[in-house]
Structure 1
């Protein structure tokens, strides 16, 4: 499954007029994978813990788009042309899958660093993601780290609902930030969120050059 293969990626998110559509692969396939992997193990204290998928974390340096991030599997990459606010742009993607979750970093390359265009692109991405689960994004402020030290302001949404042709339940947790002529979108898409420590690993690892 590859968010970066556009034929599959359309199933998770929407482009024009929505940034990414549906799921990286059909959600019923995701659900089947979860069922196959969802064996419970007993620990000495008697608690039952769900077995977690293998997270083979590795740091990815993307010099072209100016960021580094840690992904839970070998990423795949692709790009396509989109249109935002009447202007043609390029969106590039790097994605990796762990269990039933897809971890994705998208970069929209803007024609200029115009703040109004940055805001329009951020809104386009936020509303497009939320629309996939028939939700409205309620963005909250967050901070995005710089590789050289310091932070820049960004935004974050968490939405859950039903989407796709079969109206499957899915969850999207995403962060967004604009810097110069680039707007970035980090997203985890799944029928349930991965363990908090894995989500934290992904989001905290993202740093802008």
Structure 2
């Protein structure tokens, strides 16, 4: 069966908190046990570990063992591959998505960045108001990126969701680094995640 997932493929462990972004219908959902979900919902744990992704050129610290997947997407009339690594802690999903472009064309980079930003915000019926940020390079230095924080209601039950995401293009890759949750995780946990993301 062909694997299909949205720009941000995830679900929350608690049945009451399931939320799938809808740019593409999700068919692949990974479930956790009710007991485990209830425990995590009450006492979120952050088991931080550094993940090196040599294929996509980044490292990041995630709060749990990540899951990986990929699919084909179309942006600006071009077919591309999007790969995802996601980890869950409590009711929050931490994820890094990488879109592999056919070239490092700046116009295509911008179209892809806009596609990702609009797609995330649309799922909570919000308008992304991006602000400038900087993303560290593992070898030192920084590159410019953008950042959004949106909150709204999404899903069939119109549940409240918070999305905090950063976006950056480098060469033939565009990255989406995001946290989606019922409510924003503690600021120090979010900062640890975002500042740990470094490009090779």
- TM-score, scaled relative to structure 2: 0.84
Structure 2 vs 1, CA of residues 198 and 112 (structure 1 numbering), >3 Å: closer, same or farther?
Answer: same
Partners in 1 of 2:54 and 2:83 — Cα distance?
A: 13
SS at 2:115 equivalent: helix
Equivalent pair of 1:14/1:129 in contact (CA under 8 Å): no
Q: Deviations over 1:143-178 (max 9, x none)?
A: 000000000000000000000011000000000000
Partners in 2 of 1:106 and 1:68 — Cα distance?
A: 12
Which residue does the alignment assign to 2:14? none
Structure 2 vs 1, CA of residues 34 and 204 (structure 1 numbering), >3 Å: closer, same or farther?
Answer: same
Equivalent pair of 1:156/1:175 in contact (CA under 8 Å): yes
Which residue does the alignment assign to 1:176? 167
How many Å apart are 1:12 and its aligned residue?
Answer: 2.9
Who wins on radius of gyration, i.e. which is larger?
Answer: 1
Equivalent pair of 1:5/1:78 in contact (CA under 8 Å): no
Which residue does the alignment assign to 1:117? 108
Equivalent pair of 2:73/2:80 in contact (CA under 8 Å): yes
Structure 2 vs 1, CA of residues 36 and 176 (structure 1 numbering), >3 Å: closer, same or farther?
Answer: closer
Gaps of 5+ in 2: 12-18
Which residue does the alignment assign to 1:41? none
Equivalent pair of 1:12/1:25 in contact (CA under 8 Å): no
Equivalent pair of 2:137/2:143 in contact (CA under 8 Å): yes
Gaps of 5+ in 1: 38-51
SS at 2:140 equivalent: coil
Q: Aligned runs of 1:9-20 on 2, under 5 Å?
A: 9=10, 11-15=19-23
Q: Give the count of matched residue pairs.
A: 183
SS at 2:113 equivalent: helix
- TM-score, scaled relative to structure 1: 0.81
Query: Is the counterpart of residue 199 in structure 1 residue 182 in structure 2?
Result: no
Partners in 2 of 1:36 and 1:126 — Cα distance?
A: 28
